[in-house]
């Protein structure tokens, strides 16, 4: 089969196209013909190396894949050839709190991922695709959408009328927008681009802020919320945005710590963390139960993921370059043309 492998930890150039044996599913495993996969910022981190606990070489990259079941291993009862499926980011985090087995079961990091003609899933980490979604749409769900769900629902306990702050218009934030609106929340979203903000507004964002035009965007957030602050911020930035996110959250609010788009330098501790009794919680994608609950809500509301562009398998490295340049809005997808 055709596959890509991250060979050395030194960026996109370290990813090579190779020919590998098509894997055979072992007990409890499922062989899937890849129809589409989607990229996440995390796939750049994996290529760059240093992806803690999940830094194996050589590795087939990319966590988010959708495809058709080809064959199943011994003991698999819940899936059969022909089923349309996606794999949970963590193959062995089924429900409840994260455990040791879950932590080292990240597709495209700790174990081989999906950027190949065929990939292996474990039965417990496999979820059926609802009929209304295409393979390309379903391929966007495991990482970014589940992360947004985890932060909004499991960490933030979202309820109608809450105000949610989203940073930028990448994969996690655009899913955050769709899910938060479907659950009756008010959404504030930032971007470096007025054009992207107009698109976010057309999707239902209540308030938009250009973070380049307004570097003190936390002040705008407080203005919009009449000084109250938001209930939950999906903090995908890191250095330079973390303090502003803390300043944007109201009493008893939540900072869902998700990403490091702007780097990892240590933030300064703010007294408001204490005086506003903030919940500062790390979010690491999610369990199979979270993915299933999120898919059920999306189906109920007939939500379609926002795909910026679809690339062919042979153009996968162009998709990586596009991701690195951050020109996209929503998700970048690679479709299998064979």
Ligand X SMILES: NC(=O)c1ccc[n+]([C@@H]2O[C@H](COP(=O)([O-])OP(=O)(O)OC[C@H]3O[C@@H](n4cnc5c(N)ncnc54)[C@H](OP(=O)(O)O)[C@@H]3O)[C@@H](O)[C@H]2O)c1
- Residues in contact with ligand X by CB under 6 A are 40-42, 45, 143-144, 147, 167-172, 190-193, 196, 211, 236-237, 241, 258-262, 283-285, 323, 326
Smallest gap from Cβ 193 to ligand X, in A, equals 5
Tell the smallest beta-carbon distance from residue 197 to ligand X (Å).
8
Q: Which is nearer to ligand X, 31 or 143 (CB)?
A: 143
Tell me if 334 sits within 8 A of 309, measured CB to CB.
Answer: no
Q: Report the nearest approach of ligand X to the CB of residue 52 (Å).
A: 12
**275: alpha, beta or left? (left if phi > 0; alpha if psi -120 to 50):** alpha
Residue 143 C-beta: closest distance to ligand X, Å: 5
Q: Which is nearer to ligand X, 25 or 113 (CB)?
A: 113
- Select 72 or 233, whichever has its Cβ closest to ligand X: 233
User: Which residue minimizes CB distance to ligand X?
Assistant: 170
- Least Å distance between CB 188 and ligand X? 12
Which is closer to ligand X, CB of 30 or CB of 166? 166
Nearer to ligand X, 1 or 45 (CB): 45
CB of 299 to ligand X, least distance (A): 22
Judged by beta carbon, residue 101 or residue 251, the one nearer ligand X is 101
293/285 Cα distance (integer angstroms):
14
65 Cβ neighbours under 8 A, 6+ residues apart: 32, 34, 36, 37, 86, 87, 107, 113, 114, 115, 119, 139, 142
- Least CB distance to ligand X at residue 242 (A): 10
Q: Which is nearer to ligand X, 6 or 30 (CB)?
A: 6
Please state at what angle helix 41-48 crosses helix 316-325, rounded to 10 degrees: 100
Q: 10 Å Cβ neighbour count for 322?
A: 17
- Cβ of residue 334: shortest distance to ligand X, in angstroms? 15
Residue among 139 and 260 whose Cβ is closer to ligand X: 260
Q: Of 18 and 239, which CB lies nearer to ligand X in the complex structure?
A: 239
Shortest reach from residue 150's CB to ligand X, in Å: 8
């Amino acid at each position: 089969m055709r596959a890509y492998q991250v060979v050395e930890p030194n960026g996109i150039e370290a990813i090579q196209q190779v020919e590998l044996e098509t894997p055979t599913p072992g007990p409890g495993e499922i062989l899937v013909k890849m129809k589409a996969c989607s990229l996440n910022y995390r796939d750049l981190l994996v290529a760059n190396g240093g992806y803690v606990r999940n830094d194996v070489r050589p590795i087939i990259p990319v966590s988010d894949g959708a495809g058709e079941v080809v064959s199943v291993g011994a003991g698999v009862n819940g899936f059969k050839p022909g089923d349309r499926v996606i794999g949970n980011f963590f193959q062995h985090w089924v429900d409840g709190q994260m455990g040791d087995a879950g932590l080292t079961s990240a597709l495209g990091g700790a174990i081989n991922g999906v950027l190949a003609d065929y990939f292996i899933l474990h039965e417990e980490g496999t979820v059926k695709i609802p009929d209304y979604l295409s393979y390309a749409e379903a391929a966007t769900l495991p990482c970014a959408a589940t992360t947004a769900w985890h932060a909004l629902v499991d960490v933030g306990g979202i309820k109608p009328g809450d105000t949610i702050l989203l940073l930028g218009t990448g994969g996690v934030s655009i899913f955050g927008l769709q899910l938060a609106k479907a659950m009756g929340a008010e959404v504030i979203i930032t971007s470096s681009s007025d054009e992207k903000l107009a698109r976010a507004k057309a999707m239902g964002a209540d308030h938009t802020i250009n973070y380049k035009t307004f570097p003190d965007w936390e002040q705008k957030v407080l203005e919009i919320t009449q000084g109250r602050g938001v209930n939950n911020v999906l903090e995908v930035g890191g250095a330079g945005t973390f303090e502003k996110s803390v300043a944007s959250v109201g009493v008893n609010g939540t900072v869902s710590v998700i990403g490091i788009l702007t780097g990892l330098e240590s933030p300064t501790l703010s007294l408001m963390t204490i005086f506003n009794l903030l919940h500062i919680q790390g979010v690491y994608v999610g369990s199979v139960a979270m993915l299933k609950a999120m898919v059920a809500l999306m189906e109920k509301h007939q939500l379609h993921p926002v795909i910026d562009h679809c690339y062919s398998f042979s153009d996968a490295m162009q998709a990586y370059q596009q991701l690195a340049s951050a020109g996209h809005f929503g998700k970048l997808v690679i479709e299998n043309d064979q």
